[in-house]
Structure 1
Amino acid sequence: MKHILKTCTIALVLLATVSCKKEQNQTEENAAANDTIAKTETQRIISLNGALTEMVSALGHQNEIVGVDVTSTYPEGVKESATDLGHVRSISIESIIALQPTIVLATRDDISPELAEKIELSGITTRIFDREFSANGTKKTIDAVAEILESDKGKELKDKIDADLAKVTPLKVTPKILFIYARGAGTLMVSGKNTPVDKVIALAGATNAIEDFDDYKPLTPEALIKGNPDVILMFDTGIESLGGVDGVLKIQGIDKTNAGKNKNVIAMDGALLSGFGPRLGEAAAQLNSKLAENK
Protein backbone atom coordinates (compact mmCIF):
# COMPACT_ATOMS: atom_id res chain seq x y z
CA MET A 1 0.00 0.00 0.00
CA LYS A 2 2.81 2.38 0.93
CA HIS A 3 4.52 1.47 -2.34
CA ILE A 4 1.35 2.36 -4.31
CA LEU A 5 0.95 5.68 -2.51
CA LYS A 6 4.58 6.52 -3.12
CA THR A 7 4.23 5.72 -6.82
CA CYS A 8 1.08 7.85 -7.09
CA THR A 9 2.78 10.72 -5.32
CA ILE A 10 5.76 10.62 -7.70
CA ALA A 11 3.41 10.49 -10.69
CA LEU A 12 1.47 13.52 -9.45
CA VAL A 13 4.70 15.47 -8.87
CA LEU A 14 5.95 14.65 -12.36
CA LEU A 15 2.59 15.61 -13.88
CA ALA A 16 2.58 18.90 -12.00
CA THR A 17 6.17 19.61 -13.08
CA VAL A 18 5.41 18.91 -16.75
CA SER A 19 2.26 21.00 -16.55
CA CYS A 20 4.10 23.92 -14.95
CA LYS A 21 6.90 23.72 -17.50
CA LYS A 22 4.36 23.63 -20.34
CA GLU A 23 2.61 26.69 -18.92
CA GLN A 24 5.93 28.45 -18.49
CA ASN A 25 6.94 27.72 -22.10
CA GLN A 26 3.54 28.88 -23.30
CA THR A 27 3.88 32.06 -21.28
CA GLU A 28 7.35 32.72 -22.71
CA GLU A 29 6.12 32.09 -26.25
CA ASN A 30 3.16 34.39 -25.75
CA ALA A 31 5.41 37.07 -24.28
CA ALA A 32 7.76 36.82 -27.27
CA ALA A 33 4.85 37.00 -29.67
CA ASN A 34 3.43 39.99 -27.82
CA ASP A 35 6.83 41.70 -27.92
CA THR A 36 6.96 41.18 -31.69
CA ILE A 37 3.45 42.53 -32.14
CA ALA A 38 4.17 45.48 -29.87
CA LYS A 39 7.35 46.24 -31.76
CA THR A 40 5.53 46.16 -35.09
CA GLU A 41 2.72 48.33 -33.80
CA THR A 42 4.96 50.91 -32.16
CA GLN A 43 7.62 51.24 -34.89
CA ARG A 44 7.20 54.75 -36.28
CA ILE A 45 9.92 55.78 -38.73
CA ILE A 46 10.78 59.23 -40.06
CA SER A 47 13.13 59.09 -43.05
CA LEU A 48 14.81 62.35 -44.08
CA ASN A 49 16.48 61.13 -47.27
CA GLY A 50 15.03 59.65 -50.45
CA ALA A 51 17.54 56.78 -50.68
CA LEU A 52 16.96 55.84 -47.03
CA THR A 53 13.20 55.86 -47.64
CA GLU A 54 13.71 53.49 -50.58
CA MET A 55 15.86 51.21 -48.42
CA VAL A 56 13.34 51.11 -45.56
CA SER A 57 10.56 50.33 -48.04
CA ALA A 58 12.53 47.67 -49.93
CA LEU A 59 13.44 46.04 -46.61
CA GLY A 60 9.73 45.55 -45.91
CA HIS A 61 8.98 48.44 -43.53
CA GLN A 62 7.21 50.98 -45.74
CA ASN A 63 4.03 50.72 -43.68
CA GLU A 64 5.98 51.92 -40.62
CA ILE A 65 7.12 55.19 -42.24
CA VAL A 66 5.16 58.09 -40.75
CA GLY A 67 7.18 61.04 -42.08
CA VAL A 68 9.51 61.77 -45.02
CA ASP A 69 11.39 64.66 -46.60
CA VAL A 70 10.75 66.21 -50.02
CA THR A 71 13.28 63.94 -51.78
CA SER A 72 11.38 60.79 -50.77
CA THR A 73 9.45 60.28 -54.01
CA TYR A 74 9.84 56.51 -54.37
CA PRO A 75 8.18 54.08 -54.03
CA GLU A 76 5.08 55.66 -55.49
CA GLY A 77 2.48 56.16 -52.83
CA VAL A 78 4.92 56.59 -49.95
CA LYS A 79 3.61 60.11 -49.36
CA GLU A 80 0.02 58.91 -49.33
CA SER A 81 0.62 57.14 -46.03
CA ALA A 82 3.41 59.33 -44.63
CA THR A 83 3.54 63.06 -43.88
CA ASP A 84 5.70 65.12 -46.23
CA LEU A 85 7.77 67.29 -43.91
CA GLY A 86 9.30 69.30 -46.76
CA HIS A 87 12.96 70.11 -47.34
CA VAL A 88 15.21 68.71 -44.61
CA ARG A 89 16.90 72.10 -44.10
CA SER A 90 13.59 73.73 -43.21
CA ILE A 91 12.04 70.97 -41.08
CA SER A 92 11.27 71.98 -37.50
CA ILE A 93 11.72 69.81 -34.44
CA GLU A 94 8.08 70.46 -33.55
CA SER A 95 6.85 68.85 -36.79
CA ILE A 96 8.99 65.80 -36.09
CA ILE A 97 7.86 65.40 -32.47
CA ALA A 98 4.23 65.77 -33.56
CA LEU A 99 4.50 62.51 -35.53
CA GLN A 100 5.67 60.64 -32.38
CA PRO A 101 8.45 58.72 -34.15
CA THR A 102 10.38 55.91 -32.50
CA ILE A 103 13.35 56.49 -34.81
CA VAL A 104 14.59 59.16 -37.24
CA LEU A 105 16.89 58.23 -40.13
CA ALA A 106 18.95 60.91 -41.91
CA THR A 107 22.22 61.54 -43.75
CA ARG A 108 24.95 63.82 -42.49
CA ASP A 109 25.15 65.75 -45.77
CA ASP A 110 21.45 66.64 -45.60
CA ILE A 111 20.48 67.25 -41.99
CA SER A 112 21.74 70.34 -40.18
CA PRO A 113 23.73 69.76 -36.97
CA GLU A 114 21.22 71.95 -35.13
CA LEU A 115 18.22 69.80 -36.09
CA ALA A 116 20.14 66.59 -35.38
CA GLU A 117 21.00 67.85 -31.90
CA LYS A 118 17.38 68.86 -31.19
CA ILE A 119 16.10 65.44 -32.24
CA GLU A 120 18.62 63.66 -30.01
CA LEU A 121 17.85 65.97 -27.06
CA SER A 122 14.15 65.16 -27.47
CA GLY A 123 14.93 61.54 -26.65
CA ILE A 124 14.02 60.18 -30.08
CA THR A 125 16.39 57.51 -31.36
CA THR A 126 18.38 59.01 -34.25
CA ARG A 127 20.59 57.33 -36.85
CA ILE A 128 22.65 59.62 -39.08
CA PHE A 129 24.57 58.01 -41.95
CA ASP A 130 27.80 59.09 -43.60
CA ARG A 131 27.18 58.12 -47.21
CA GLU A 132 29.72 56.95 -49.75
CA PHE A 133 28.58 57.33 -53.35
CA SER A 134 29.69 53.98 -54.69
CA ALA A 135 28.23 50.50 -55.08
CA ASN A 136 30.05 49.28 -51.95
CA GLY A 137 29.04 52.39 -50.02
CA THR A 138 25.39 51.82 -50.92
CA LYS A 139 25.60 48.20 -49.80
CA LYS A 140 27.10 49.26 -46.46
CA THR A 141 24.20 51.64 -45.88
CA ILE A 142 21.71 48.90 -46.78
CA ASP A 143 23.40 46.61 -44.23
CA ALA A 144 23.22 49.31 -41.55
CA VAL A 145 19.54 50.07 -42.17
CA ALA A 146 18.70 46.35 -42.30
CA GLU A 147 20.42 45.83 -38.95
CA ILE A 148 18.49 48.71 -37.37
CA LEU A 149 15.18 47.35 -38.65
CA GLU A 150 16.15 43.72 -38.00
CA SER A 151 15.33 42.87 -41.61
CA ASP A 152 16.66 39.78 -43.37
CA LYS A 153 16.23 41.25 -46.86
CA GLY A 154 19.52 43.14 -47.04
CA LYS A 155 21.36 40.47 -49.04
CA GLU A 156 18.52 40.36 -51.56
CA LEU A 157 18.83 44.11 -52.22
CA LYS A 158 22.62 43.92 -52.54
CA ASP A 159 22.41 40.97 -54.92
CA LYS A 160 20.01 42.93 -57.12
CA ILE A 161 22.44 45.85 -57.31
CA ASP A 162 25.17 43.46 -58.49
CA ALA A 163 22.85 41.77 -60.99
CA ASP A 164 21.82 45.13 -62.48
CA LEU A 165 25.40 46.42 -62.66
CA ALA A 166 26.30 43.26 -64.57
CA LYS A 167 23.94 44.46 -67.32
CA VAL A 168 26.20 47.45 -68.06
CA THR A 169 27.97 46.72 -71.33
CA PRO A 170 31.08 48.42 -72.76
CA LEU A 171 30.27 51.31 -75.12
CA LYS A 172 31.95 51.39 -78.54
CA VAL A 173 33.00 54.99 -77.92
CA THR A 174 33.22 56.50 -74.43
CA PRO A 175 30.93 59.55 -74.54
CA LYS A 176 31.44 62.77 -72.59
CA ILE A 177 28.35 63.63 -70.61
CA LEU A 178 27.35 66.99 -69.17
CA PHE A 179 24.74 66.85 -66.43
CA ILE A 180 22.65 70.01 -66.14
CA TYR A 181 20.48 70.62 -63.11
CA ALA A 182 17.61 72.93 -64.03
CA ARG A 183 14.73 74.56 -62.22
CA GLY A 184 13.56 76.74 -65.06
CA ALA A 185 15.81 78.84 -67.29
CA GLY A 186 16.81 81.00 -64.30
CA THR A 187 18.48 78.16 -62.39
CA LEU A 188 20.99 76.14 -64.40
CA MET A 189 23.84 74.29 -62.69
CA VAL A 190 26.35 71.80 -64.06
CA SER A 191 27.85 68.85 -62.24
CA GLY A 192 31.58 68.75 -61.74
CA LYS A 193 33.48 65.81 -60.27
CA ASN A 194 32.57 63.85 -57.14
CA THR A 195 28.81 64.32 -57.24
CA PRO A 196 26.38 61.37 -57.14
CA VAL A 197 25.57 61.92 -60.82
CA ASP A 198 29.28 62.00 -61.70
CA LYS A 199 29.69 58.60 -60.02
CA VAL A 200 26.71 57.09 -61.87
CA ILE A 201 28.07 58.40 -65.18
CA ALA A 202 31.28 56.45 -64.48
CA LEU A 203 29.35 53.31 -63.48
CA ALA A 204 27.49 53.54 -66.81
CA GLY A 205 30.76 53.49 -68.73
CA ALA A 206 30.96 57.18 -69.71
CA THR A 207 32.98 60.21 -68.56
CA ASN A 208 32.03 63.58 -67.13
CA ALA A 209 32.58 66.46 -69.57
CA ILE A 210 33.57 68.67 -66.62
CA GLU A 211 36.87 67.79 -64.99
CA ASP A 212 38.25 71.06 -63.56
CA PHE A 213 36.02 71.46 -60.48
CA ASP A 214 34.06 69.48 -57.89
CA ASP A 215 30.40 69.72 -56.92
CA TYR A 216 28.08 72.09 -58.84
CA LYS A 217 28.61 75.46 -60.44
CA PRO A 218 26.36 77.80 -62.49
CA LEU A 219 26.19 76.91 -66.16
CA THR A 220 27.99 79.30 -68.53
CA PRO A 221 28.26 79.22 -72.35
CA GLU A 222 32.05 79.10 -71.93
CA ALA A 223 31.86 75.96 -69.79
CA LEU A 224 29.54 74.34 -72.32
CA ILE A 225 31.83 75.03 -75.24
CA LYS A 226 34.95 74.03 -73.30
CA GLY A 227 33.41 70.76 -72.13
CA ASN A 228 31.89 70.07 -75.56
CA PRO A 229 29.77 67.15 -74.33
CA ASP A 230 28.50 64.41 -76.61
CA VAL A 231 25.39 64.03 -74.47
CA ILE A 232 23.38 66.33 -72.21
CA LEU A 233 21.96 64.47 -69.19
CA MET A 234 19.15 65.93 -67.08
CA PHE A 235 16.44 65.00 -64.61
CA ASP A 236 13.11 64.62 -66.39
CA THR A 237 11.68 67.34 -64.12
CA GLY A 238 14.51 69.66 -65.18
CA ILE A 239 13.71 69.19 -68.86
CA GLU A 240 10.03 69.79 -68.13
CA SER A 241 10.92 73.06 -66.36
CA LEU A 242 12.53 74.27 -69.60
CA GLY A 243 9.58 73.32 -71.76
CA GLY A 244 11.00 70.07 -73.12
CA VAL A 245 14.03 69.14 -75.21
CA ASP A 246 13.51 72.13 -77.50
CA GLY A 247 13.91 74.38 -74.47
CA VAL A 248 17.15 72.60 -73.52
CA LEU A 249 18.56 73.12 -77.02
CA LYS A 250 17.90 76.85 -76.71
CA ILE A 251 20.31 77.21 -73.76
CA GLN A 252 23.07 79.58 -74.85
CA GLY A 253 26.10 77.62 -76.04
CA ILE A 254 24.36 74.25 -76.42
CA ASP A 255 24.23 74.60 -80.22
CA LYS A 256 28.04 74.83 -80.30
CA THR A 257 28.48 71.39 -78.66
CA ASN A 258 28.36 67.92 -80.18
CA ALA A 259 25.34 67.18 -77.98
CA GLY A 260 23.46 70.22 -79.27
CA LYS A 261 24.32 69.61 -82.91
CA ASN A 262 23.11 66.00 -82.67
CA LYS A 263 20.24 66.79 -80.27
CA ASN A 264 21.52 64.17 -77.85
CA VAL A 265 19.60 64.87 -74.66
CA ILE A 266 18.85 62.13 -72.13
CA ALA A 267 16.23 62.46 -69.40
CA MET A 268 16.08 60.26 -66.30
CA ASP A 269 14.17 60.21 -63.05
CA GLY A 270 16.05 62.24 -60.46
CA ALA A 271 15.64 59.87 -57.51
CA LEU A 272 16.76 56.94 -59.66
CA LEU A 273 19.75 58.68 -61.24
CA SER A 274 21.26 60.33 -58.16
CA GLY A 275 19.74 58.47 -55.22
CA PHE A 276 22.32 55.73 -54.62
CA GLY A 277 19.64 53.57 -53.09
CA PRO A 278 18.57 49.98 -53.84
CA ARG A 279 18.04 50.93 -57.51
CA LEU A 280 21.65 52.04 -58.07
CA GLY A 281 22.43 49.17 -60.45
CA GLU A 282 19.20 49.84 -62.32
CA ALA A 283 20.18 53.51 -62.74
CA ALA A 284 23.62 52.66 -64.17
CA ALA A 285 22.20 50.01 -66.50
CA GLN A 286 19.45 52.33 -67.73
CA LEU A 287 21.88 55.16 -68.46
CA ASN A 288 24.24 52.71 -70.18
CA SER A 289 21.39 51.48 -72.38
CA LYS A 290 20.32 55.02 -73.31
CA LEU A 291 23.92 55.92 -74.20
CA ALA A 292 24.17 52.84 -76.42
CA GLU A 293 21.08 54.06 -78.29
CA ASN A 294 22.61 57.57 -78.73
CA LYS A 295 25.37 56.49 -81.06
Structure 2
Amino acid sequence: MKKVGFLFLALLSLTTACNSGSKSEEEKAKLSKEKVEEKRIVSLNGSVTEIIYAVDSQKELIGVDVTSTFPAAAEKLTNLGHVRKLAIESLLALNPSHVVMLEDEVSPDLKSKLKQAKIELVTFKHPNSLEESKSLVKEVASWLGKSDKATEIVSKIDSDIKNISKLDKKPKVLFVYARGAGTLMVAGEQTPLEKMIVLAGGENAGKGFTDFKPLTSESVIAANPDVILMFTSGAQSLGPDGIFNVPGVSSTNAGKNKALIQMDGQLLSGFGPRVADAIVELNKEFKKVK
Protein backbone atom coordinates (compact mmCIF):
# COMPACT_ATOMS: atom_id res chain seq x y z
CA MET A 1 0.00 0.00 0.00
CA LYS A 2 2.84 2.36 0.85
CA LYS A 3 4.44 1.60 -2.52
CA VAL A 4 1.14 2.38 -4.31
CA GLY A 5 0.81 5.63 -2.40
CA PHE A 6 4.36 6.60 -3.22
CA LEU A 7 3.83 5.74 -6.90
CA PHE A 8 0.63 7.79 -7.02
CA LEU A 9 2.39 10.84 -5.55
CA ALA A 10 5.28 10.41 -7.96
CA LEU A 11 2.92 10.25 -10.95
CA LEU A 12 0.95 13.24 -9.64
CA SER A 13 4.15 15.26 -9.30
CA LEU A 14 5.26 14.26 -12.78
CA THR A 15 1.88 15.17 -14.29
CA THR A 16 1.87 18.54 -12.53
CA ALA A 17 5.39 19.25 -13.73
CA CYS A 18 4.44 18.37 -17.30
CA ASN A 19 1.33 20.55 -17.18
CA SER A 20 3.35 23.39 -15.70
CA GLY A 21 5.91 23.07 -18.41
CA SER A 22 3.21 22.95 -21.07
CA LYS A 23 1.56 26.06 -19.71
CA SER A 24 4.87 27.85 -19.58
CA GLU A 25 5.54 26.98 -23.20
CA GLU A 26 2.08 28.20 -24.19
CA GLU A 27 2.66 31.48 -22.41
CA LYS A 28 6.02 31.86 -24.09
CA ALA A 29 4.45 31.19 -27.47
CA LYS A 30 1.72 33.71 -26.77
CA LEU A 31 4.20 36.36 -25.67
CA SER A 32 6.35 35.63 -28.70
CA LYS A 33 3.35 36.02 -30.98
CA GLU A 34 2.35 39.29 -29.33
CA LYS A 35 5.89 40.57 -29.74
CA VAL A 36 5.85 39.70 -33.44
CA GLU A 37 2.48 41.43 -33.88
CA GLU A 38 3.55 44.63 -32.13
CA LYS A 39 3.16 47.54 -34.53
CA ARG A 40 5.37 50.55 -35.10
CA ILE A 41 2.80 53.01 -36.39
CA VAL A 42 3.19 56.31 -38.16
CA SER A 43 -0.14 58.16 -38.30
CA LEU A 44 -0.58 60.74 -41.05
CA ASN A 45 -3.97 62.00 -39.94
CA GLY A 46 -4.98 63.84 -36.78
CA SER A 47 -8.29 62.04 -36.33
CA VAL A 48 -6.66 58.62 -36.66
CA THR A 49 -4.03 59.71 -34.13
CA GLU A 50 -6.76 60.74 -31.69
CA ILE A 51 -8.43 57.35 -32.02
CA ILE A 52 -5.14 55.53 -31.42
CA TYR A 53 -4.82 57.41 -28.13
CA ALA A 54 -8.50 57.04 -27.28
CA VAL A 55 -8.30 53.22 -27.51
CA ASP A 56 -5.06 53.20 -25.50
CA SER A 57 -2.74 52.01 -28.29
CA GLN A 58 -0.38 54.99 -28.20
CA LYS A 59 2.59 52.79 -27.23
CA GLU A 60 2.61 51.56 -30.82
CA LEU A 61 2.69 55.10 -32.23
CA ILE A 62 6.14 56.38 -33.22
CA GLY A 63 5.45 59.32 -35.56
CA VAL A 64 2.68 61.69 -36.61
CA ASP A 65 1.78 64.43 -39.10
CA VAL A 66 1.20 68.13 -38.55
CA THR A 67 -2.56 67.70 -37.94
CA SER A 68 -1.94 65.41 -34.97
CA THR A 69 -2.30 68.07 -32.30
CA PHE A 70 -4.51 66.21 -29.83
CA PRO A 71 -3.93 64.96 -27.25
CA ALA A 72 -0.95 67.07 -26.21
CA ALA A 73 1.18 63.94 -25.84
CA ALA A 74 1.02 63.43 -29.62
CA GLU A 75 3.03 66.62 -30.13
CA LYS A 76 5.97 65.03 -28.32
CA LEU A 77 6.32 62.40 -31.05
CA THR A 78 8.39 62.85 -34.20
CA ASN A 79 6.42 65.21 -36.45
CA LEU A 80 6.75 64.51 -40.16
CA GLY A 81 4.99 67.69 -41.29
CA HIS A 82 2.15 67.89 -43.79
CA VAL A 83 1.19 64.69 -45.56
CA ARG A 84 1.37 66.36 -48.97
CA LYS A 85 4.91 67.62 -48.33
CA LEU A 86 6.17 64.50 -46.64
CA ALA A 87 9.87 63.69 -46.85
CA ILE A 88 9.88 59.91 -47.31
CA GLU A 89 13.43 59.67 -45.92
CA SER A 90 12.27 61.06 -42.57
CA LEU A 91 9.46 58.54 -42.45
CA LEU A 92 11.68 55.59 -43.34
CA ALA A 93 14.19 56.65 -40.68
CA LEU A 94 11.57 55.80 -38.03
CA ASN A 95 11.48 52.20 -39.29
CA PRO A 96 7.68 51.86 -39.10
CA SER A 97 5.81 48.62 -39.67
CA HIS A 98 2.60 50.45 -40.64
CA VAL A 99 1.60 53.85 -42.00
CA VAL A 100 -2.04 54.80 -41.38
CA MET A 101 -3.93 57.62 -43.05
CA LEU A 102 -7.12 58.54 -44.89
CA GLU A 103 -7.51 57.04 -48.36
CA ASP A 104 -8.04 60.32 -50.20
CA GLU A 105 -4.76 61.72 -48.84
CA VAL A 106 -2.51 59.00 -50.29
CA SER A 107 -0.38 60.16 -53.22
CA PRO A 108 0.73 57.58 -55.82
CA ASP A 109 4.35 58.47 -55.03
CA LEU A 110 3.97 57.78 -51.31
CA LYS A 111 2.12 54.55 -51.99
CA SER A 112 4.87 53.36 -54.34
CA LYS A 113 7.70 54.21 -51.96
CA LEU A 114 6.02 52.50 -49.00
CA LYS A 115 5.52 49.40 -51.11
CA GLN A 116 9.20 49.40 -52.11
CA ALA A 117 10.18 49.72 -48.45
CA LYS A 118 7.79 46.87 -47.56
CA ILE A 119 5.89 49.06 -45.12
CA GLU A 120 2.21 48.24 -44.82
CA LEU A 121 -0.11 51.11 -45.76
CA VAL A 122 -3.47 51.09 -43.98
CA THR A 123 -6.12 53.55 -45.15
CA PHE A 124 -9.55 54.54 -43.91
CA LYS A 125 -12.43 56.43 -45.51
CA HIS A 126 -12.52 60.20 -44.90
CA PRO A 127 -15.39 60.92 -42.44
CA ASN A 128 -17.76 63.76 -43.27
CA SER A 129 -20.72 63.01 -41.03
CA LEU A 130 -21.56 61.92 -37.51
CA GLU A 131 -22.15 58.33 -38.59
CA GLU A 132 -18.94 58.22 -40.61
CA SER A 133 -17.04 59.51 -37.59
CA LYS A 134 -18.36 56.61 -35.53
CA SER A 135 -17.50 54.19 -38.33
CA LEU A 136 -13.93 55.51 -38.42
CA VAL A 137 -13.59 54.95 -34.67
CA LYS A 138 -14.85 51.39 -35.02
CA GLU A 139 -12.61 50.57 -37.99
CA VAL A 140 -9.41 51.96 -36.48
CA ALA A 141 -10.15 50.32 -33.13
CA SER A 142 -10.89 46.99 -34.80
CA TRP A 143 -7.60 47.12 -36.71
CA LEU A 144 -5.81 47.70 -33.41
CA GLY A 145 -7.71 44.88 -31.70
CA LYS A 146 -9.57 47.31 -29.42
CA SER A 147 -13.19 46.96 -30.54
CA ASP A 148 -14.37 47.06 -26.92
CA LYS A 149 -12.88 50.53 -26.55
CA ALA A 150 -14.67 51.67 -29.71
CA THR A 151 -18.02 50.76 -28.17
CA GLU A 152 -17.30 53.08 -25.25
CA ILE A 153 -16.28 55.96 -27.52
CA VAL A 154 -19.31 55.61 -29.80
CA SER A 155 -21.63 55.47 -26.80
CA LYS A 156 -20.12 58.70 -25.50
CA ILE A 157 -20.59 60.38 -28.90
CA ASP A 158 -24.26 59.33 -28.92
CA SER A 159 -24.70 60.60 -25.38
CA ASP A 160 -22.89 63.92 -25.87
CA ILE A 161 -24.70 64.80 -29.08
CA LYS A 162 -27.94 64.99 -27.10
CA ASN A 163 -26.61 68.19 -25.53
CA ILE A 164 -27.28 70.15 -28.73
CA SER A 165 -29.92 72.83 -28.24
CA LYS A 166 -32.56 73.67 -30.83
CA LEU A 167 -32.01 77.23 -32.04
CA ASP A 168 -34.84 79.71 -32.48
CA LYS A 169 -33.18 80.98 -35.64
CA LYS A 170 -30.52 79.44 -37.85
CA PRO A 171 -27.58 81.84 -38.11
CA LYS A 172 -26.00 82.28 -41.55
CA VAL A 173 -22.42 81.20 -41.07
CA LEU A 174 -19.48 81.84 -43.38
CA PHE A 175 -16.37 79.78 -42.77
CA VAL A 176 -13.23 81.63 -43.77
CA TYR A 177 -9.91 79.84 -44.08
CA ALA A 178 -7.00 82.22 -43.58
CA ARG A 179 -3.25 81.92 -43.69
CA GLY A 180 -2.41 85.57 -43.43
CA ALA A 181 -4.15 88.29 -45.43
CA GLY A 182 -2.75 86.86 -48.66
CA THR A 183 -4.71 83.61 -48.40
CA LEU A 184 -8.43 83.95 -47.71
CA MET A 185 -10.82 81.20 -48.82
CA VAL A 186 -14.48 80.57 -48.03
CA ALA A 187 -16.14 77.18 -47.66
CA GLY A 188 -18.92 76.27 -50.05
CA GLU A 189 -21.35 73.40 -50.30
CA GLN A 190 -20.39 69.75 -49.74
CA THR A 191 -17.44 70.66 -47.53
CA PRO A 192 -16.73 69.26 -44.05
CA LEU A 193 -17.18 72.77 -42.67
CA GLU A 194 -20.68 73.02 -44.14
CA LYS A 195 -21.49 69.67 -42.54
CA MET A 196 -20.39 70.92 -39.13
CA ILE A 197 -22.30 74.18 -39.50
CA VAL A 198 -25.52 72.31 -40.34
CA LEU A 199 -25.05 69.69 -37.59
CA ALA A 200 -24.66 72.50 -35.05
CA GLY A 201 -27.90 74.13 -36.19
CA GLY A 202 -26.62 76.81 -38.55
CA GLU A 203 -26.91 77.57 -42.26
CA ASN A 204 -23.89 77.77 -44.53
CA ALA A 205 -23.67 81.23 -46.11
CA GLY A 206 -21.38 79.88 -48.84
CA LYS A 207 -23.93 78.98 -51.52
CA GLY A 208 -23.80 78.27 -55.24
CA PHE A 209 -20.36 76.63 -55.31
CA THR A 210 -18.65 73.53 -53.95
CA ASP A 211 -15.33 73.14 -52.19
CA PHE A 212 -13.50 76.43 -51.44
CA LYS A 213 -13.09 79.65 -53.40
CA PRO A 214 -11.22 82.92 -52.81
CA LEU A 215 -12.97 85.47 -50.63
CA THR A 216 -13.90 88.67 -52.51
CA SER A 217 -15.62 91.77 -51.21
CA GLU A 218 -18.51 91.23 -53.63
CA SER A 219 -19.09 87.62 -52.62
CA VAL A 220 -18.93 88.25 -48.88
CA ILE A 221 -21.39 91.15 -49.14
CA ALA A 222 -23.74 88.99 -51.21
CA ALA A 223 -23.50 86.14 -48.68
CA ASN A 224 -24.13 88.58 -45.80
CA PRO A 225 -23.34 86.14 -42.98
CA ASP A 226 -24.56 86.67 -39.42
CA VAL A 227 -21.28 85.31 -38.10
CA ILE A 228 -17.82 84.43 -39.40
CA LEU A 229 -16.38 81.05 -38.41
CA MET A 230 -12.60 80.50 -38.48
CA PHE A 231 -9.89 78.23 -37.22
CA THR A 232 -8.18 79.90 -34.27
CA SER A 233 -4.85 79.76 -36.07
CA GLY A 234 -6.37 81.44 -39.13
CA ALA A 235 -7.95 84.25 -37.16
CA GLN A 236 -4.68 84.86 -35.32
CA SER A 237 -2.78 85.05 -38.59
CA LEU A 238 -4.81 88.16 -39.46
CA GLY A 239 -4.18 89.90 -36.14
CA PRO A 240 -6.73 91.38 -33.69
CA ASP A 241 -10.06 92.03 -35.47
CA GLY A 242 -8.19 91.33 -38.70
CA ILE A 243 -11.08 89.60 -40.43
CA PHE A 244 -13.26 92.68 -39.98
CA ASN A 245 -10.70 94.78 -41.84
CA VAL A 246 -11.02 92.59 -44.93
CA PRO A 247 -12.86 94.51 -47.70
CA GLY A 248 -16.57 93.80 -47.71
CA VAL A 249 -16.79 92.10 -44.30
CA SER A 250 -17.66 95.30 -42.41
CA SER A 251 -20.77 95.66 -44.59
CA THR A 252 -22.20 92.29 -43.47
CA ASN A 253 -24.29 91.53 -40.39
CA ALA A 254 -21.26 89.70 -38.98
CA GLY A 255 -19.05 92.73 -39.55
CA LYS A 256 -21.51 95.19 -38.05
CA ASN A 257 -21.85 93.03 -34.91
CA LYS A 258 -18.21 91.93 -34.80
CA ALA A 259 -19.50 88.36 -34.74
CA LEU A 260 -16.62 85.91 -34.97
CA ILE A 261 -16.34 82.33 -33.76
CA GLN A 262 -12.87 80.81 -33.44
CA MET A 263 -12.33 77.08 -32.93
CA ASP A 264 -9.39 74.70 -32.96
CA GLY A 265 -8.93 73.46 -36.52
CA GLN A 266 -8.56 69.75 -35.74
CA LEU A 267 -11.54 69.79 -33.40
CA LEU A 268 -13.79 71.62 -35.86
CA SER A 269 -12.94 69.74 -39.04
CA GLY A 270 -11.46 66.43 -37.90
CA PHE A 271 -14.66 64.37 -37.53
CA GLY A 272 -12.77 62.20 -35.06
CA PRO A 273 -13.73 60.85 -31.62
CA ARG A 274 -14.40 64.41 -30.38
CA VAL A 275 -16.92 65.16 -33.13
CA ALA A 276 -19.81 65.53 -30.66
CA ASP A 277 -17.74 67.91 -28.52
CA ALA A 278 -17.13 70.09 -31.59
CA ILE A 279 -20.80 70.16 -32.61
CA VAL A 280 -21.99 70.98 -29.09
CA GLU A 281 -19.38 73.74 -28.70
CA LEU A 282 -20.33 75.27 -32.06
CA ASN A 283 -24.01 75.02 -31.21
CA LYS A 284 -23.40 76.99 -27.99
CA GLU A 285 -21.60 79.68 -29.95
CA PHE A 286 -24.47 79.90 -32.44
CA LYS A 287 -26.87 80.61 -29.56
CA LYS A 288 -24.93 83.83 -28.86
CA VAL A 289 -25.33 85.17 -32.41
CA LYS A 290 -27.66 88.16 -32.69
> Which range, TM-score by smaller chain?
over 0.9
Unaligned 5+ segments in structure 2 are: none
* SS of equivalent to 1:153: helix
* SS of equivalent to 2:15: helix
1:8 deviates by 5.6
Q: Return the letter of the residue paired with 1:53.
A: T
Report the equivalent of 2:221: 225
Partners of 1:39 and 1:138 in 2: CA distance = 31
CA contact (8 A) 1:92 1:115 kept: no
Partners of 1:163 and 1:149 in 2: CA distance = 24
- Greater displacement, 60-69 / 6-15: 6-15
Q: Deviations over 1:24-60 (max 9, x none)?
A: 0132124324544x268x4321000111111111111
Partners of 2:236 and 2:50 in 1: CA distance = 24
CA contact (8 A) 1:44 1:64 kept: yes
Q: Deviations over 1:177-197 (max 9, x none)?
A: 000000111100000011111
* SS of equivalent to 1:77: helix
CA contact (8 A) 2:171 2:289 kept: no
> Please, which of 174, 177, 181 is the counterpart of residue 181 of structure 1?
177
1:288 deviates by 0.3
Q: Return the letter of the residue paired with 1:147.
A: S
CA contact (8 A) 2:226 2:289 kept: no
Q: Return the letter of the residue paired with 1:124.
A: I
> Please, which of 130, 134, 139 is the counterpart of residue 129 of structure 2?
134
> Please, which of 16, 19, 25 is the counterpart of residue 18 of structure 1?
16
- 2:86 aligned with 1:91: yes
1:282 deviates by 0.3
Report the equivalent of 1:190: 186
Partners of 1:103 and 1:190 in 2: CA distance = 35
* SS of equivalent to 1:166: helix
Partners of 1:4 and 1:60 in 2: CA distance = 58
Partners of 1:293 and 1:155 in 2: CA distance = 34
Partners of 2:49 and 2:196 in 1: CA distance = 20
Matches for 1:69-218 after TM superposition, within 5 Å:
69-80=65-76, 82-151=77-146, 152-218=148-214
Report the equivalent of 2:30: 32
Q: Deviations over 1:118-157 (max 9, x none)?
A: 2123211210112131111111111111111112311111
Percent same amino acid among aligned pairs? 44
Partners of 2:36 and 2:279 in 1: CA distance = 37
* SS of equivalent to 2:197: helix
Unaligned 5+ segments in structure 1 are: none
Partners of 1:283 and 1:39 in 2: CA distance = 38
Q: If the length of structure 2 is used for normalisation, what is the TM-score?
A: 0.93
Q: Deviations over 1:78-137 (max 9, x none)?
A: 121x11111111213222111011211011222212202221232112101121311111
Q: If the length of structure 1 is used for normalisation, what is the TM-score?
A: 0.92
Q: Return the letter of the residue paired with 2:79.
A: D
Report the equivalent of 2:259: 264
CA contact (8 A) 2:221 2:251 kept: yes
